[in-house]
C-alpha cells in the first residue's frame, strides 16, 4: 500500500507531465530550449518577489516569467543583441538576482534545494489542485490555438497571409509556457523544468507521424517518466526531481533503439 505523500506526488507529477508533453512539442519544433531555460530561471526571481509582496508563489512565478518573455520579444525586435546573447543575459541575470534576494531574506526560511531541483514528495492537496487546474488551462489554450501555433511554427509568413495572427499565437505560447513553469516548479524545480518540456517531446518525435500523435505520445512518455522516476526514487532513496529527469532520458534512449514506428500515420 502506497503512502499518501507518494500518491500525492504521483498525481502532481502526472498532472505536470500531461501538460508539459504537448507544450514541449512546440518547444522542440521551434528550437526554443534555451528560451524555456530563461523563463524557468526567472521563476526563482518570481518566488523571491512573491515572498516580498506576500502573494502566492505560483502567481509571482507566472508574472515574472511572462514579463521576461515579453521583454525578450521587445529586445529581440530592436536587434541590439543576438537572440542567444539576450537569452544568456536574461537567464543568468534573473537567476542571480533571485538567488541574491533569497539570500537577503534572512527572516524567511527557504529550502533553496527544493526550489532549484523540486520537491514533489512535499506537495499538498492545494498544490495538486493548482497543477491540474493550470494544466487544464494550458491544454485548453493549446487546443484552441493549435492551428495558428502549428501554422506559425511551419511557415510564419503563410500563417500571416491566411489571417492566423502569428504574433498573437506566439504571445499565447509564451503565456502558456509561463503558466507551466509556475505550476511545475514544485515538482522538478527551476533548473529541471525545461527537461520535462523537451525530453518527452524529443523522445516522441521520431515515433509519431503527425503533430497530434507526437503531442499525445509526448504526454504519455512524460507520465511514464514520472511514474518510473518516483518509484526509483522511493526504491533507491534518490532525489525525486532528478530521478524523473533520468527516467525521461532513459526513455529517450530506449526510443532511439526502437525502429521509427510513425504512430498516428
The per-residue pLDDT for 263 is: 56
pLDDT of 117 above 80: yes
182 inside domain: yes
Kindly state the average pLDDT of the residues 126-132: 93
265 inside domain: no
The CATH number linked to 140 is 1.10.3470.10
- With pLDDT > 90 as the criterion, what percentage of the chain qualifies? 48
26 inside domain: yes
Lowest mean pLDDT among 68-77, 175-184, 242-251, 254-263: 254-263
pLDDT of 6 above 60: yes
The per-residue pLDDT for 62 is: 93
174 inside domain: yes
253 inside domain: yes
The per-residue pLDDT for 260 is: 58
189 inside domain: yes
263 inside domain: no
Count the domains in the chain. Answer: 1
- With pLDDT > 70 as the criterion, what percentage of the chain qualifies? 96
Using one digit for the tens of pLDDT, what is the confidence trace for 39-72?
A: 888 988 999 899 888 888 889 999 999 998 888 8
25 inside domain: yes
pLDDT of 22 above 80: yes
Domain containing 106 equals 4-257
pLDDT of 145 above 70: yes
Which residues lie across from 208 on neighbouring strands?
263
The per-residue pLDDT for 264 is: 54
The per-residue pLDDT for 225 is: 96
The per-residue pLDDT for 144 is: 93
Place 261 in a pLDDT band, splitting at 50, 70 and 90.
Answer: low
Amino acid at each position: 500500500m502506497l503512502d499518501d505523500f507518494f500518491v500525492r506526488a504521483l498525481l502532481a507529477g502526472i498532472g505536470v507531465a500531461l501538460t508539459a508533453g504537448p507544450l514541449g512539442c512546440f518547444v522542440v519544433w521551434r528550437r526554443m530550449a534555451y528560451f524555456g531555460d530563461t523563463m524557468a530561471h526567472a521563476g526563482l526571481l518570481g518566488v523571491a518577489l512573491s515572498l516580498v509582496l506576500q502573494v502566492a508563489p505560483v502567481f509571482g512565478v507566472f508574472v515574472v516569467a511572462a514579463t521576461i518573455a515579453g521583454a525578450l520579444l521587445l529586445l529581440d525586435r530592436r536587434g541590439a543583441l543576438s537572440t542567444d546573447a539576450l537569452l544568456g543575459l536574461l537567464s543568468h541575470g534573473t537567476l542571480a538576482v533571485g538567488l541574491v534576494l533569497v539570500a537577503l531574506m534572512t527572516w524567511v526560511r527557504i529550502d533553496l534545494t527544493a526550489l532549484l531541483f523540486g520537491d514533489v514528495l512535499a506537495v499538498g492537496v492545494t498544490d495538486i489542485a493548482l497543477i491540474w487546474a493550470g494544466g487544464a488551462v494550458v491544454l485548453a489554450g493549446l487546443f484552441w490555438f493549435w492551428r495558428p501555433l502549428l501554422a506559425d511554427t511551419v511557415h510564419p509568413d503563410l500563417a500571416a497571409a491566411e489571417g492566423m495572427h502569428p504574433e498573437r499565437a506566439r504571445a499565447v505560447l509564451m503565456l502558456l509556457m509561463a503558466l507551466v513553469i509556475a505550476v511545475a516548479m514544485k515538482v522538478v524545480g527551476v533548473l529541471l523544468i525545461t527537461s520535462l518540456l523537451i525530453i518527452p517531446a524529443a523522445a516522441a518525435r521520431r515515433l509519431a507521424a503527425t503533430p497530434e500523435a507526437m503531442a499525445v505520445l509526448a504526454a504519455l512518455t512524460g507520465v511514464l517518466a514520472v511514474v518510473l522516476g518516483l518509484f526509483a526514487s522511493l526504491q533507491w532513496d534518490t532525489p525525486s526531481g532528478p530521478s524523473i529527469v533520468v527516467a525521461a532520458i532513459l526513455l529517450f534512449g530506449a526510443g532511439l533503439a526502437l525502429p521509427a514506428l510513425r504512430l498516428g500515420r
